Amino acid sequence: MKKIAPHIILILLLLTIPIVSSPDFDGTLSVFRVSPFQREFIRFVFVVLFFYLNLNLFLPKLYSKKKYFLFIICLLICFGIMVFIPNYLTSENGMSAHHLQMQMKPHSMGSPENIALPPREGQFPAENTGYRNHNPYSQMIFSSLLPFLFSFLSSLYIFKNIEKKELERSKAKAELLSLKYQLQPHFLFNILNSIYSLALLKSDDAPNGILKLSNVMRYVVQESSKDFVGLSKEIEYLKDYIALQLVRTDSSLDFSYTETGIIKDEQIAPFILVNFIENAFKYGFNAEENSKISVNVIIKDGVLNFNVFNNIVNRNISDENSLKIGMKNTIEHLNHAYSGKYTLNSHNNGKTFEVDLKINLL
């Protein structure tokens, strides 16, 4: 109903144009008794109807599908209706504006100058000759042609703009899907590395690690095709991912994770956050040096503040290109999903690296 109401209001406003612009309009509805106005008003109604019919039916169903013959036939039929139907529907005995005014003008019956005399031959007003019967077809066609062309061209212009926007949306969606397909194998490769690490360590934490790994893989497979997922699911995925990374570390790492705020029904694009954590573990952990990584998550009033800090203690990254690709894809993902709704700041002084991401999830 909300989508229909503006169109109804627009139609009503458009229908006032021929009324207020008519030279016969005197501020009352008596103008509807004038034959020429009746014809033009009916023609204007057909112009408005044709505009919506062309925009919502002929252009998308015929023109777009290259059914040009049917499209032209429909246009000609509509034009014919616009030319002839107003004249057919208008009463032949409809009054002219002059006669209407004379009829409404008070007369003094006793005054000789007000007594109507029989008209002489050839002195009948032009209005009495019948507007419809003596209106040439060329004049009828010309009076309908300009409104018809205006209605057609304006609906075509709007339709082309709608098509262009839909094409841009489809292109953006395809690019976003492509980014997701690039992200998915990237994370799966790192998960396989985690499996290898668990096998080498023969740790007592291996069963729990495999469970976390199962959760991560399930999330990647099930949620990667979605545009948005619940924020609570994404946070749980991050925790499982962090748990897998911690299995590969030792006591030299000072790690902290804090989460503030209450998660309600907020939604977030999947895999937006995990790449920052992955980079922190890649560059921020070295068993031979004191390492520090902190992750802070704050949710307040539908806004997510995500902060990741790490010491730079590992500069020999074997898959650095992979990390750069992952970060590039993440930023492009942010631009597609949250254009104008996020800020991303990072600070690198050569010894520490900190990234601060703020997303308006509403």
Task: Please tell me the distance from the alpha carbon of residue 205 to that of residue 203, in angstroms, as a whole number.
Answer: 5
**Quick one: residue 42, left, alpha or beta (phi over 0 = left, psi -120 to 50 = alpha)?**
alpha
Per-position pLDDT tens, the chain of length 362: 556 777 777 777 777 777 766 776 666 767 677 777 787 888 888 888 999 899 999 999 999 888 999 999 999 999 999 888 887 787 554 444 444 444 444 444 444 444 444 554 444 444 444 444 455 567 778 778 888 898 899 889 999 998 888 887 776 666 656 555 555 565 567 666 766 766 776 666 667 777 887 888 788 778 777 888 999 999 999 998 898 888 777 788 999 999 999 888 899 988 889 889 988 988 888 888 889 999 999 999 999 999 999 998 876 665 556 556 667 778 888 888 898 899 999 998 888 999 999 999 98
Interatomic CA distance for residues 266 and 300, integer angstroms: 11
Q: Quick one: 295 exposed, middle or buried, by C-beta within 10 A (0-12, 13-18, 19+)?
A: buried
- Give me the amino acid identity at 207: P
The three-point CA angle 32-38-39 to 5° equals: 175
H helices present in the chain, as ranges: 4-20, 35-53, 68-89, 97-104, 137-201, 206-223, 231-247, 274-284, 320-337
84 touches 92 (CB < 8 A): no
DSSP 324-358: HHHHHHHHHHHHHHSTTSEEEEEEE-SSEEEEEEE
* Residue position matching structure tokens 């019948």: 130
At 176 the pLDDT is 59
Which phi and psi (to 5°) does residue 260 adopt? -125, 140
Long-range contacts at 4-12 (CB < 8 A, ≥ 24 apart): 7/52, 11/48
Residue 342 is predicted with a pLDDT of 94
Q: Quick one: CA dihedral 344, 347, 353, 356, positive or negative? A: negative
CA–CA distance, 304 with 302 (Å, rounded to integer): 7
- Model's pTM, two decimal places? 0.52
Order of strands across the sheet that contains 291-300? 253-260, 291-300, 303-311, 352-360, 342-348
pLDDT of residue 285: 87
pLDDT value at residue 107: 46
Strands 303-311 and 291-300, sheet pairing: antiparallel
Question: Tokens 């169109």 identify what position?
Answer: 7
